[in-house]
Amino acid sequence: MKERNILETLCRYFIYFLLYSIIGWCYEVFLEVVVYRWGFTNRGVLFGPYCPVYGFGALIFLVLLYPMLKKQSPGKKVLYIPVIFLLSMTIATALELFTSYILEYLTGSWPWQTYVDYKYNFQGRIALSPSLRFGLGGVIFLYLLQPVFERICDRLGSSLIKKLALTMMILLAADCAYTVFFR
């Protein structure tokens, strides 16, 4: 495998951030429409179909957990599933708690449902049931999705990765401007 330069690596991470933000949005909408049957609402804080907290969580997983998996042989990777599950659950739950405090400070509330009706919750901000789903999501993300996304990016090549990342950055910046100034 060839060595990547810093710009390409950053572009890849931005693309991963946006992909996982979109997957997180789809997950949230699926829960809302199919599981809870509440009907559709835009689950993101921006206009577009993405939840950035999932993208940030994915980046944290990529930096802290993925290197541990990549250096293992395929047989040993299976042995790490319980560890990855627990670490993903802990990291994502801490991120959700931290994000709820930041958003409450900045906006007066946090944009997801409160967990006060869940049996095991803390201040209605985090709960055991979503935390378990975050752990499972971390395993799916690190073992299944990320290797596929890496292979796709490898096939696209450095030049196309940079152009794609720049285009996505422009779109996200436009969305942020629209959300802040016109929404």
Per residue in 22-33, pLDDT tens?
999 999 888 888
83 has a pLDDT exceeding 90: yes
pLDDT tier for residue 2 given thresholds of 50, 70 and 90? low
- Dist CA 160 CA 15 (whole Å): 12
Averaged pLDDT for residues 112-129:
87
Domain ranges of the chain: 6-182
Q: Map tokens 């429409």 to a residue.
A: 33
pLDDT in tens, 54-75: 999 999 999 999 998 888 888 8
Predicted local distance difference test score (pLDDT) of residue 1:
47
Predicted local distance difference test score (pLDDT) of residue 111:
65
Predicted local distance difference test score (pLDDT) of residue 3:
65
Residue type, 21: S
